[in-house]
């Protein structure tokens, strides 16, 4: 999967975020990134917070284990997730292809 790679103690995700969507959901792939729609607006970090909580819930890790490491002010982001291995991350995200 091109959007997810193993790291020491977790995985790194490449995501493409669409804030201000009708609902918050994982939408498949956007090129080499995981497409995620976020209902929260991109104001005062609300969309980033919603993204972190969505990924934490979907991956079954505490929100504190999810960190945006690049692209906090951009639609394309790199996110580190601690406490999960590659196979579990792929299975829990439920995305085909990539």
Domain boundaries, the chain: 4-93
Arithmetic mean of pLDDT, 30-34: 94
Instruction: Collapse the DSSP code of 14 into the 3-class scheme (helix H, G, I; strand E, B; otherwise coil) and give the result.
Output: strand
Q: Are 17 and 90 in contact (CB under 8 A)?
A: no
What is 4-93's CATH superfamily? YggU-like (3.30.1200.10)
pLDDT 10s digits, 82-98:
999 999 999 999 876 55
Residues 48-75 have pLDDT tens digits of 999 999 999 999 999 999 999 999 999 9
Helix (H) or strand (E) holding 81: strand 76-82
* Predicted model pTM: 0.94
């Amino acid at each position: 999967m091109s959007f997810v790679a193993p790291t020491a103690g977790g995985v790194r995700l490449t995501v493409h975020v669409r804030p201000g969507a009708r609902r918050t959901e994982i939408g498949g792939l956007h090129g080499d990134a995981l497409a995620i729609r976020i209902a929260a607006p991109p104001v005062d970090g609300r969309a980033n917070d919603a993204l972190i909580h969505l990924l934490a819930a979907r991956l079954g890790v505490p929100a504190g284990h999810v960190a945006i490491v690049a692209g906090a002010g951009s639609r394309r982001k790199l996110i580190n997730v601690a406490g999960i291995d590659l196979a579990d991350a792929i299975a829990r995200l439920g995305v085909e292809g990539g």
